[in-house]
Amino acid sequence: MQKYLRLLLITVGVLMSTFALAAGPDSPADEDGYPSLLKSIQFKGPIDFCGESVPLENQEVRERLEKEMLLTVADRPQVILWLKRSHRFMPLIEKELAANGLPEDLKYVAIAESALRPHAGSTAGAIGFWQFMQTTGRKYGLSVNAAIDERRSIYKSTRAAIAYFKFLHEEFQSWTLAAAAYNMGEEGLKSEMLLQEVNEYYRLYLPLETQRYIPRIISAKLILLNPEKYGFKLIEDDYYPPYEFDEIIVRCDQRTPIRLVAQAAGTYFKQIKDLNPDIRGHYLPAGSHAILIPKGSGDGFKERFDKAVAGWQKNPDKHVYTVKAGDNLSSIAERFQVPLRALLIWNDLKSRHHIHPGDRLIIYKVVEAAIETNHD
């Protein structure tokens, strides 16, 4: 459904721009000064990616860049969201790139990959701001499991992306080729370079997605560097502010509800999840975890958290049920009048899990069941 909605929005944008084009390349389409699509691809001056020149004198390269720019500018809702999110996430990416001596233009890769969304996912299984596959994410130090998925953390995934880009640049000695390899994989790119006897991105015949990849990144760069030129006139209050938080260490002796972290931080479950998108589900696994909590709530957090955990462990509403012959999860949930999903979450079970006589299940009162199932 989202795919069709986006196509509809792009179509509307194209139609609006077509009216502007009919009025002439120097005429705005509306009172907001939205320029024509034709004007948006009248490139002036040299264009580069990470200091490497884009050969606009090559007609095929120019056409590829024009196509991506036209499609990008026409998708006005998406670009506005890029811009609004940029103030929240780009300063951190820029800081990490500078600290590691990498070109600032690499920050636009995150826009092309995820539109700066922590939960962005691909059909191939790539997840997060930088769209890491599980194997690649783990290779560069990210935890990826049922409880924690650090591909969704802007802080941790950016450091992993920097490490990966360093490796790719050492392999290909070109940031443009490094970005192409980031998209299609280094082995695939090496194979094409060998078979075609070509070592220049713009002269290689690559998968169509990779041929579009660098022009799409450059389109994002051109728009974010000068949004007003393309009709995006945001004021400071339009941008999303950076998150403000305290970072604390939470030590869990056992699987512990995230809502206890929220309780100790004086906030609610959703805010902890939003600040820590890498935490999956409703519980923290046993161990130590660096957690972001609302700014100003770090003082005294440990004492409040320990008290909350002690209360949870002694909860008089907690019941341990021993499974009997003939039981199944649905019948147990019905017997205790709790949602089946809550029963599964409390006991870290999947819906198709088979229970056996003698198994022990934790069950809470209906009030707590409602609390647990109201949060994703």
Provide the residue count of the chain: 376
pLDDT at 373: 46
**Cα separation of 217 and 208, whole Å?**
15
Going by pLDDT thresholds of 50, 70 and 90, the confidence category of residue 37 is: confident
360-370: per-residue pLDDT in tens?
888 987 544 44
Listed by start position, the domains of the chain span 41-238, 245-313, 319-373
Whether 29 shows a pLDDT value over 70: the answer reads no
Q: What is the reported pLDDT for 44?
A: 82
Can you tell me the distance from the alpha carbon of 276 to that of 150, in angstroms, rounded to the nearest whole number?
Answer: 9
Q: Does residue 191 or residue 35 have the better pLDDT? A: 191
Residue 188: what residue type? G
Q: What is d(CA 373, CA 312) in angstroms, rounded to the nearest whole number?
A: 17
Query: Distance between CA 149 and CA 138 in Å, rounded?
Result: 10
Residue with token string 């007609």:
59
pTM of the complete model? 0.82
Tell me the pLDDT tens digit for each residue of 333-348: 988 889 998 888 898 8
For the CA atoms of 294, 297, 302, 307, what is the dihedral angle to 10 degrees?
-100
CATH (residue range 319-373): 3.10.350.10
Please tell me the predicted confidence (pLDDT) of residue 156. 96
State the pLDDT confidence band at 374, using cuts at 50, 70 and 90: very low
**65 φ, ψ to 5°?**
-70, -40
Question: How many angstroms separate the most distant Cα atoms in the chain?
Answer: 79
Q: List the one residue out of 136, 162, 176 whose CA is nearest residue 49.
A: 176
* Average pLDDT of the residues of the chain: 89
Two tokens, residue 163: 């490490």
Per-residue pLDDT tens over the stretch 297-344: 999 999 999 999 999 988 777 788 889 898 888 889 988 889 998 888
Can you name the residues that pair with 251 across neighbouring β-strands?
A: 288
What is the Cα 121 distance to its own chain's centre? Answer: 8
Asked whether the CA dihedral 270, 1, 345, 151 is positive or negative, the reply is negative
Would you state the pLDDT for residue 105? Answer: 98
> Quick one: fold of 41-238?
Lysozyme (1.10.530)
Choose among 256, 238, 214: nearest CA to 108.
214
| Rounded Cα distance, 160 and 139, in Å | 9
Q: What is the mean pLDDT of residues 252-266?
A: 95
Contact between residue 108 and residue 217 where contact means Cβ atoms under 8 Å apart: yes
